[in-house]
Amino acid sequence: MSLSLCLLAASVLPLFPLGWVFNRLVASLPAGIAQGLAALILPQLGIALLGLVPPSSTWPVSWRYGAMAWATGSALLYALRALSARDLGIWTRLMLSSGLGVVWLGWCAGAPAAVLRAVAVGWSLPGAVALFLAGVLVRRVGGAYIGLQGGLATVMPRMTASLVLAALALTATPVFPAFFALWRGLGSIPLAFVPFWLPLIFLWGWAAGRLFQDLLFGDYRGERVADIGRPSAALIGLVLLAAVVLGFHRGGVTL
Amino acid sequence: MILGSLGVWVPVLPAASALVILAFLRRARRPAARVSVATLVLTLALALALLVRYLMEGGVAAVDSGGIFGSLWLDPLSLVLWAFVSGISLIVHIYSVRYMAEEPGYARFFALLDLMTAVILVMVSAANLLTLLAAWFLVGVLLYFLLGHDHRRPAAGRYAFWTQITYRFGDLPLWFAALILVHYYHSTSLPVIFARIQHGPPALLWGLPVTELAGFLLALAAFARSAQFPLHVWLPYTMDGPTPVSALMHAGIVNAGGFLFNRFAPLFVHAGWVLHWAFGVGLTTALIGSGLMLMQNDIKRSLGYSTMGQMGFMVMECGLGAFSLAVFHLIAHGFFKASLFLGSGDVIGDARAHDGVPPDPIYTSVVERRPAKPSRLPCLVAASLTVVVPIVVLSLSHFFVAEHLFYEQGVVVLLFFGWVTGAQALFAAHKMSQQDPWRLMIGILASFVVIVIGYTLISHYFGRFLYPDEHESLMLYRAASIHELSFDALVLFLAAVFVGGWTLTFFTDSFELGRNLGGAWRGVYLGLYALLSRELYVADVYERISQILLQWSRRLNVWLGWC
């Protein structure tokens, strides 16, 4: 029963290969708000399912280490796959699937459910913003394939700025919550696992760099399109600011 | 108490300026620049006031955030680097006011400059590992956006990406070192960790002392940040960014490796072989950087390779245990290189006005009716002057300032390099054709004496300022030492190599051997030339590796249906 619940959790709190379900579910929803909400809710559902199984501290050590190794491999694989994704929707889903592996690390290390939920939000929140913006692109440009038009910063500066901030938050950049979550996650596992997680930080940076390359630089080649409105940009800014405050709070700074 | 409460404003001021510009002055170009420059003037004034206060009253302060993130450590290293960073940043700000006037995103540029300044100020004064790691990481991110400020140029984006990815690679060992230190010393506070390293029992990880493993990782992080071979490729290519950013980067950001060595000096005392490794890497980088600099025909790229060579020297100094000298070097090089970058536009303008083609002896003789080959000093006199005088001047000056350090291997190697550099300068001066060779030689010798004495005095007193506990300085020199016999053999070997090189250069020049190369030697010469002109193919190797990884990524995605 416990194993079945874990496997069910791995399909919504993505762990390869069961993460296929998460990715397929999100992709099947209409681009935009629906996908963003799914990115927020599904990982929380996975954490709720994990709450139904006995705590990992009661499991044999070899099982726990096996689960850690699985989470590590899964996160690395998704990050590697994100390198070649040029569609913003696919890129975000793969990055999200990779980052949420940290939640599994926390669970294996015996972190309480409240901490796991906060860690998941650290990735889900910017992921949801990026998926929402992918929906905006699909509606206005006809697709979220970033490399197609190039230089979106010149025609959609507010959308680009919001997307850049979301991508930075998604790739565990300080001072966003994912950075602090990663620090705490890596601090709670045996040191032998750390060298396998470090290439992940490199792959995230590489994937973000490739996204920015297509998004920011060069001349825009598409038709004239409207940028997102100031209220939307302000709302995204506030959401990410709230994430920063959450990050500082989790990071241990007294505000 | 005052030091701490005032000190916290030094990084806060530029950060606040950036936020004000982003929130209220995005479309107001002039007010944005004014706010930014005025804030930097205040920051520099505050940093200098704190430094002067420390010089007069002493005392190290800490600003405790109450958590594992955000604490500051106001020790001599932080205070001197605060003054240096805010000084360089102010110069760059003032220069940018007019230089960037016609560029789009003017206010954003100043906001990014302010943010970068704030982050560097936090980095150099971080009192805990998480703050240091976050600031170290953010410098790379902000530098990417500063280098790629001009969105219209894909090349700017490409080279900004190279920088970002190298910096990200360099972040990884720092992450690992930080996690190891927290795991074994149960604290993120740097002073606490250093105290436990000094007084606690030695810890082992995977059969290696923890201090050595952490030292190795920290050195690797420093190498990536300071463009050490083979992690140097990004540095000469960042010239597509705005000139003020190049100045800020070459004068300040790239020096972070030297800072990291100094910040973790109490750890490197217990990691001798890491220092030997750093010496080797620094020496290799200095040679390659200086060599490649001579092959460039683009002034900014030439300056880029010059920076690489200087960073090699800086890391080499750390490898010798002369940590304070590395900080002095980075400050001196920072001001020197900032002035060169900010003046590079004028040099290009002058070059357009005057071609600067070297005089041709036949032209000089026939058209200008001047002797084609003016007199030089006799060879024996020149050889004696170039080889003997520098060693006498260097030894005497150091002997009088700090005799007890004269017996440390690191100091001897530094003096050795001083001798090589001085002799090389005199040798080059001898090769110049002049009407009055004695006058030239005396002028060069006088300059050399002034520089050596000034450098010795400044480095000595600066060392005492940074490391008031002389025992710590001595421990660093001892950690960097090797077996005496090996050391003597190495110095003799290197001396023979340099003297041999000068002799070879002299005869090659005199008998024009370079023009008579034939057969296999010509092939070697051309191969070497191709290797150097392609910058040792390092960038090509990275390019190939990244292509292979991207191919795997694409194949995986196709197999798995992009889900």
pLDDT of residue B314: 92
CB contact under 8 A, A212 and B161: yes
The terminus-to-terminus CA distance of chain A in angstroms comes to 43
Label the pairing between strands B208-209 and B72-74: unpaired
CA closest to A206 among chain B residues: B165
Residues sharing a CB contact under 8 Å with residue B88, sequence separation 6 or more, in sequence order: B247, B248, B251, B252, B334, B335, B338
CB contact under 8 A, A198 and B176: yes
pLDDT of residue B365: 58
SS3 B327: helix
CB contact under 8 A, A251 and B68: yes
Q: Which of B137, B179, B180 sits opposite A173 (nearest CB)?
A: B137
Q: Which of A23, A194, A216 sits opposite B179 (nearest CB)?
A: A194
Q: B77 to chain A, minimum CA–CA distance in Å? A: 24
Phi, psi (rounded to 5 degrees) for B42 = -60, -45
pLDDT of residue B503: 80
In the block, tokens 């020199």 appear at B477
CA closest to A251 among chain B residues: B69
Whether A63 and chain B come into contact, CB under 8 Å, resolves to no
Whether A28 and chain B come into contact, CB under 8 Å, resolves to no
Q: A14 to chain B, minimum CA–CA distance in Å? A: 11
Per CB-CB distance under 8 Å, the chain A contacts of B137 are 173-174, 179
Residues sharing a CB contact under 8 Å with residue B468, sequence separation 6 or more, in sequence order: B76
CA closest to B205 among chain A residues: A191
Chain Cα centroid distance, residue A85: 14
Chain Cα centroid distance, residue B230: 15
Q: Which of A90, A153, A186 sits opposite B562 (nearest CB)?
A: A90
Number of A to B CB contacts under 8 A, please give it.
129
Cα distance between residue B331 and residue B324, in whole Å: 11
**pLDDT for residue A255 is more than 50:** no
Whether A174 and chain B come into contact, CB under 8 Å, resolves to yes
SS3 A227: coil
Cα distance between residue B228 and residue B230, in whole Å: 6
CB contact under 8 A, B553 and A81: yes
CB contact under 8 A, B65 and A83: no
CB contact under 8 A, A209 and B144: yes
Domain limits, chain B: 1-126, 128-350, 377-516, 523-563
- Residue with more model confidence, A63 or B341: A63
Buried-exposed string B441-465: b where 16+ CB fall within 10 A, e elsewhere: beebbeebbeebbebbeebbebbeb
Whether A196 and chain B come into contact, CB under 8 Å, resolves to no
Q: ipTM of the predicted structure?
A: 0.93
Q: Which of A81, A216, A248 sits opposite B557 (nearest CB)?
A: A81
CB contact under 8 A, A217 and B153: yes
Strands (E), B181-257: 204-205, 208-209
Q: Residues A26-44: pLDDT tens digits?
A: 999 998 899 999 999 999 9
Whether A186 and chain B come into contact, CB under 8 Å, resolves to yes
CA closest to B551 among chain A residues: A84
For residue B229, the surrounding DSSP H or E stretch is none
Q: A237 to chain B, minimum CA–CA distance in Å? A: 11
CB contact under 8 A, A212 and B562: no
Closest CA to B65 of A177, A187, A251: A251
Buried-exposed string B49-63: b where 16+ CB fall within 10 A, e elsewhere: ebbebbeeeeebbbb
Q: What is the mean pLDDT of residues A202-218?
A: 91
Q: B267 to chain A, minimum CA–CA distance in Å? A: 20
Closest CA to B473 of B490, B461, B457, B455: B461
pLDDT in tens, chain B (563 residues): 666 678 889 999 999 999 999 989 988 889 999 999 999 999 999 999 999 999 988 877 777 777 777 788 989 999 999 999 999 999 999 999 999 988 888 999 999 999 999 999 999 999 999 999 999 999 999 999 999 988 888 888 888 999 999 999 999 999 999 999 999 999 999 999 999 998 878 888 888 899 999 999 999 999 999 999 999 888 888 777 888 898 888 878 899 999 999 999 999 999 989 999 999 999 999 989 988 888 887 777 888 898 999 999 899 889 988 888 889 888 888 888 888 878 877 777 777 777 666 555 555 555 555 555 555 666 677 777 767 776 777 677 767 766 666 667 777 777 777 777 777 777 777 666 666 777 777 887 788 778 777 777 777 888 888 888 888 888 888 888 888 888 888 888 888 888 888 788 777 766 666 666 666 777 888 888 888 888 889 989 999 999 999 999 999 999 998 87
Cα distance between residue B431 and residue B202, in whole Å: 55
Q: A208 to chain B, minimum CA–CA distance in Å? A: 10
Percentage of chain A lying above the pLDDT 70 cut: 97
Q: B533 to chain A, minimum CA–CA distance in Å? A: 28
Q: Band the pLDDT of A254: cuts 50, 70, 90.
A: very low
Whether A50 and chain B come into contact, CB under 8 Å, resolves to no
SS3 A231: helix
Per CB-CB distance under 8 Å, the chain A contacts of B65 are 252-254
Q: B165 to chain A, minimum CA–CA distance in Å? A: 6
Which of A:78-107 have CB within 8 Å of B?
80-85, 87, 90, 93
CB contact under 8 A, B168 and A206: yes
Query: Residue B6, exposed/middle/buried by CB under 10 A (0-12, 13-18, 19+)?
Result: middle
Whether A251 and chain B come into contact, CB under 8 Å, resolves to yes
Q: Which of B151, B554, B563 sits opposite A216 (nearest CB)?
A: B151
Per CB-CB distance under 8 Å, the chain B contacts of A173 are 137-138, 141
CB contact under 8 A, A24 and B563: yes
Q: Which of A80, A183, A248 sits opposite B556 (nearest CB)?
A: A80
Per CB-CB distance under 8 Å, the chain B contacts of A194 are 175-176, 179
Q: B66 to chain A, minimum CA–CA distance in Å? A: 6
Cα distance between residue B393 and residue B396, in whole Å: 5
CA closest to A211 among chain B residues: B161
User: Mean pLDDT lowest for which of A6-10, A220-224, B108-112, B348-352?
Assistant: B348-352
Q: How many CB atoms lie within 10 A of CB B494?
A: 15
Whether A226 and chain B come into contact, CB under 8 Å, resolves to no
CB contact under 8 A, A174 and B137: yes
Whether A218 and chain B come into contact, CB under 8 Å, resolves to yes
B539 to each of B159, B528, B535, how far by Cα in Å?
12, 17, 8
Q: At what angle do helices A113-141 and A88-99 cross, to 10 degrees?
A: 170
Cα distance between residue A83 and residue A207, in whole Å: 5
Cα dihedral: B404, B408, B412, B418 (round 10): -70
User: Where does B226-343 have alpha helices with state H?
Assistant: 243-251, 256-263, 265-268, 272-294, 299-319, 323-342
Q: What is the mean pLDDT of residues A246-255?
A: 61
pLDDT of residue B356: 62
CB contact under 8 A, B151 and A80: no
Q: Which of A23, A84, A217 sits opposite B563 (nearest CB)?
A: A23
Cα distance between residue B80 and residue B77, in whole Å: 5
Q: B114 to chain A, minimum CA–CA distance in Å? A: 17
